[in-house]
Structure formats: C-alpha cells, structure tokens
Amino acid sequence: MGSFPATRHSVVAGIASHDVHTRRVAFDALVSAYWRPVYKYVRIKWRRDREDAADLTQEFFARAFEKGSLGRFEPTRARFRTFLRVCLDGFVANEIKARGRLKRGGEASFVPLDFAAAEHELSTHPAANGTAAAGLVDTDEDDLFRQEWVRGLFSDAVAALRASCEAAGKTTQFAVFQRYDLDDSPDVRPTYAQLASELAIPVTQVTNYLAFARRELRRLVLERLRSLCATDEEFRLEARELLGADPTSRPA
Amino acid sequence: MNALSDTALRRLRDAADGPDLSGTKYEIVDRIGQGGMGTVFRARDRELGRDIALKVVRLPEGAPDIAGRMMREARTLARLEHPGIVPVHDVGTLVDGRVFYAMKLVRGAPLHELSTTGLAERLRIVERVCEAVAFAHAHGVIHRDLKPQNVMVGPFGEVLVMDWGLAKIVGDATLSLGVDAVPGTTDGTVEPATGHGVVLGTPGYMAPEQAAGDPLLVDARADVYAIGAILRDLCGGNPVAEGRDASEEVPRPLAAIIRRAMAPEPRERYPDVTALARDVAAFRAGDRVSAYAENVLERARRLAIRHSTPILLVLAYLLMRLTFLAVFGR
C-alpha cells in the first residue's frame, strides 16, 4: 500500500547519466513527454510561425542533449517542469537575438515529432490567435506549458491503456471507458444503463469495467509522472496537483 | 494518438482520482466539491432511482484500523435523525479501501453566500443551527467544524448543518472522523489527523482550546464558540479577525451574546448551545438577554420598542381625550 510506482526509471536522473546509452534513452522519453508543450509554448508565447517553432523545438532538445544542460537541474530550486520552461525561454531569447548565426536542427535526432498533429491541436486552443497570445502574462504562460504537459501525460497514458487492453483482450473494458470518460461530444454523457444496453453487458459490469480502466489509467499516469520527476517530493506535489490526492494515500 | 480535448482531460483527471464504485449501487454523476476529509460527488442510487451526495474519505497511509473506526463513528452519525442534520443513508468501504458515506443531496446555498436576508432571519438561522447542534450534543457528538460554509439554507428556509467529518464522539477523545492527512483544502479547513497536538477545525471559528490541539480539552463549548463566530459573521463582518469590536457593528446586547459565546475561556461561555439559542431568541423577541446587563434607559428603550403597539394605542387615546377636552370641555 502506498508505494511509489517504480517500473520506469527516472528520466530526470537518466539525462544526467554519464552513460551515453542511458542518457539517450532518457532523452527520448523526455522529448516524448515534452515536445508538444514546448512546441505549443513557442508558438503561442513567443509567437513564432510553424516552421520556426518546429525548428526551435528540435534545436532546443538537440542542444540540451549535446550540452547536457538539462542534466544540471537542481531539485532543491524548482520543479523539473519549471526548470525546463525557464531553459526554453532562455534558449529561444538567445536564438532570436543571434538570428544570423542560427544553426538549425543540431546533430542529434530523437523520436519522430508530429508537428502537423500538434498544429492541428493548437488550432482549437483559445490562446492560439494573435490577440489572446499577446495578452498572455507570466502566469498564463506557465499554465499553458503545464496544461500541455498534463495533456501529453494523459494522452500517453490513455494510449498505453488502450494498447494493454487490446493485448489482454479487454476491448469492452476500454470501450466503456472511452464512451464514458473520453468521449467529449456535446451530447449528454451516457448513463451506465445506456452504456450497458449499448454494449450488451449488465449495468454492474459497466461499473466494474469503468473502475478497472480508471484504476489502470491512474497507475499509468502515476508511473509516467514518477519517471518525469526528480524527487519523491516533486512527485508527491505533482501528483497531488494533477489528481487531487496524495499518490500514497490509496491502497494499491 | 490525438491529444485529448480539454473536456476529456478534465474528465480523465477526475476519473483517475475518482472512487472505485465496483460492487456498489452508486454511479458518479459529477464532483460537487472537495474538503478536508475527502471529495463529495453527486451520485445516482440506481436501486432507488435518486441522486445522493457521496462523500469519499481519503485515508492516510499506515493506519489500517482507521477505516473500521470511521465506520463505527459513521454509524453513530447515522443515528442523528434531526431535521437540521443531513441524514446519512449508507456507509461502507469501497474496494479501493476508502470509506464512503451516502447522504441526502442538499439543495440550497451555504450560509456565507446568503446576502439578502435581514437580521431577524439570520438570527432565526442561528437558532436552527443551535437546535441541530444541541441535538447532536445530547447524543454525544461534537461537530468541531461549524462555520458558515457548513450550514446550508434550503429554498424553503430549512437549515441543515453539514460536514460532520471532524466530529468527535464524546467519551473517547481519540475517536474522531478527522483522519485526512493531506494539507491544503478548498474550504480553509486545517487538515486533521487524529491525536494529541494536532489541530482540527477552521481558523476564525476554532475555539482557543481546540486550536491548542488537545482533544481532551475540547467539549461542547467549542461548538458554542463556533456558533458565536457564525453569529459574528452574520452581524456585519468579522470583527475578531479584523481587530474590531463587535459592539461597533451590532446592537450592544447582540454584541454581548457574541462576546460571551466567543469567550476565550470555556467556563466564561454559555454552558451549552441551548443557552446561547435562548439568548438569541430573546434578543430577536426584544426581551432581556442574559449576557448583557442593561441600564435603566436601555431597559426603558427596549420595553418601549418591545411594547410599541400598546404604548402607541394608549398615547393615541390620551391625545384624543386631550383634544376632546380642549375643544368641548369649556
């Protein structure tokens, strides 16, 4: 009861590793978790166009990998997410200043980044138009970055849940979860009875399947969150803000 | 996969922290609020076809016996059948280990959000609160977290005392429902954890002995203090918190009632909430209150206001007689 998820190694520890392979694997995980918030943040806060934002995103991670700048994170001073955003701000400001000698892309390459998909997601963002973006203040910027980071974290966990349900032959469980928790259509949320009728299962199974999927989702989110936090304290804080509860306060 | 929409993300975040209702007859409709003890959901009772308030209580790590204790205490609360106390319909343990209470879904507004009621109506609400709390005291239960946010006023004027999550069962100081170890709540409650030296309650409404953190010192007079603080709020602000004298804001007898209810020393307060209610009712009716020693002028003024109708009738009669004598008496 109450133990931290320990199945994934800490990404934050990994990027500071002296072992190139370990560092590489950790960086891939880091890029997977953060590229979307970084790209959208550059687009909105720094008001760069699509190509520029995509280049700056790739360059930021490439430069960080080459120089090991993110490995110099000190957990006592800030959360890793905040540290990364501050590094990003510094990087973009310098790049804009040194526009003439900008070197695109860097030497390193990471997991494929689907900027077109990110751009599509951004099209529905309230701050994506010029007026709203111009009105952003520091708090908004931090909220924006955090919101996109949370979105990425949950998207990743939902994808993992879908994959594990399919692998285990639990597609109905995922279907219940998808209809009840994921479906964001403007229609009224279905009742358990409606779902049971739709999927030809007893109402009690809807409750059980939903509970299973949510339990798994929570586990997957916490697992990923743990890997992206530098310390147990940071993990506790993030989990509490993210899920509204202490990750240790519930039996496994 | 595509990124999640804001709506889906919000639902997922709620769902990931939501209670596991497998094996129960309830289904979550939405989240109503979050407090010191846990989260309250609007839930549907499928068997009875009605909406209820489902309170799911978080338990701290390393306290396996607390769930059982809370169940016993919840049963005690369930026996508090009074129109001013939110009834508990059901109590149980979820498969994820958390304890839940199914309660009546109260519709209305919390006291601190009521702004249009007059003083007499506000005093009536305080009397209703006193009645409910007196009933609980008679059954050995001390609320310990009375505040405007925990008093609901229904659309027909009904008054309900809510959130007995920090209640203490008299006779066993170590028993309380205050077991949540997570700091930082949305309603200002100081987070509880049972035991000596731990502060339970809400600053501004907590009696000094309660704020000292010794559960042995806390008795029914702590609730007297809290109701005094509610009365203070209802009578024009928060004079204690702002360092002002309540007498500047409200009639002197009422200020005296507040002062006596909120006396730092428990022995200087009203002995019980019934005595407090009696004084509030007396003030509302224009009678003398026990907390205030009025002088002759004040007494005359009070009696004049209290009996203004017969006095006016007599005066009108005398005036009429004088006029009659003046016109026809020669």
Instruction: Identify whether residues B225 and B316 lie together within a single domain.
Output: no
In angstroms, how far is CA A153 from the centroid of its own chain?
3
pLDDT, tens only, A132-149: 444 444 546 678 888 888
Q: Compare B7 and B242 and report the one with higher pLDDT.
A: B7
B198 touches B192 (CB < 8 A): yes
Structure-block tokens of residue A206: 């809807």
Cβ distance of A243 and B3 shorter than 8 Å: no
Cβ distance of B1 and A162 shorter than 8 Å: yes
- Average pLDDT of the residues in B292-321: 84
* Strand, helix or coil for residue B41: strand
Residue B177 has pLDDT above 70, yes or no: no
Instruction: Identify whether residues B310 and B260 lie together within a single domain.
Output: no
Instruction: Identify whether residues B308 and B275 lie together within a single domain.
Output: no
Asked whether residue B5 is domain-assigned, the answer is no
Nearest to B16 among A117, A151, A214 (CB): A214
B25 touches B45 (CB < 8 A): yes
User: Which of A90-104, A235-249, B253-267 is predicted least confidently?
Assistant: A235-249
What pLDDT does B82 receive?
92
Instruction: Identify whether residues B280 and B317 lie together within a single domain.
Output: no
Q: How far is A153 from chain B (nearest CA, A)?
A: 10
Highest mean pLDDT among A88-102, A173-187, B221-235: B221-235
* Strand, helix or coil for residue B163: coil
Domain boundaries, chain A: 11-243
> Between residues 175 and 214 of chain B, which touch chain A (CB distance below 8 Å)?
181-182, 184
Cβ distance of A250 and B58 shorter than 8 Å: yes
Asked whether residue B252 is domain-assigned, the answer is yes
Instruction: Identify whether residues B158 and B300 lie together within a single domain.
Output: no
Calculate the average pLDDT of chain B: 79
Which chain B residues contact residue A152 at CB under 8 A?
3
Asked whether residue B215 is domain-assigned, the answer is yes
Instruction: Identify whether residues B121 and B234 lie together within a single domain.
Output: yes
Asked whether residue B3 is domain-assigned, the answer is no
Asked whether residue B315 is domain-assigned, the answer is yes
Instruction: Identify whether residues B171 and B129 lie together within a single domain.
Output: yes
Instruction: Give the Å distances, CA to CA, from A176 to A184, A189, B94.
Output: 14, 12, 20
- Average pLDDT of the residues in B84-101: 82
Which chain B residues contact residue A121 at CB under 8 A?
2-3
Calculate the average pLDDT of chain A: 79
Instruction: Identify whether residues B261 and B218 lie together within a single domain.
Output: yes
Instruction: Identify whether residues B110 and B136 lie together within a single domain.
Output: yes
Domain containing residue B318: 296-328
Q: Give the Cβ contact number of residue A91 at 10 Å.
A: 19
Number of domains in chain B: 2
Q: What is the C-alpha R_g of chain B?
A: 25
Structure-block tokens of residue B173: 């100081």
Instruction: Identify whether residues B219 and B266 lie together within a single domain.
Output: yes
Asked whether residue B195 is domain-assigned, the answer is yes
CA distance A247 to A37: 24
What pLDDT does B98 receive?
77
Asked whether residue B69 is domain-assigned, the answer is yes
Cβ distance of A214 and B46 shorter than 8 Å: no
Interface test with A, best of B2, B6, B9, B25 (most A CBs within 10 A): B9
pLDDT, tens only, B266-284: 999 999 999 999 999 999 8
Residue B1 — very low, low, confident or very high, per pLDDT cuts 50/70/90? low
DSSP, residue by residue, A172-184 = HHHHHHIIIII--
Instruction: Identify whether residues B243 and B307 lie together within a single domain.
Output: no
Dihedral Cα A43, A44, A49, A54, nearest 10 deg: 0
Residue B57 — very low, low, confident or very high, per pLDDT cuts 50/70/90? confident
pLDDT, tens only, A147-163: 888 888 898 899 999 99
CA distance B214 to B241: 23
The pTM score is: 0.59
Which chain B residues contact residue A1 at CB under 8 A?
61, 97
Which chain A residues contact residue B15 at CB under 8 A?
181, 214, 217
Closest CA to B12 of A202, A125, A216: A216
Instruction: Identify whether residues B207 and B316 lie together within a single domain.
Output: no
Q: Compare A98 and B265 and report the one with higher pLDDT.
A: B265
Strands B50-57 and B88-93: unpaired
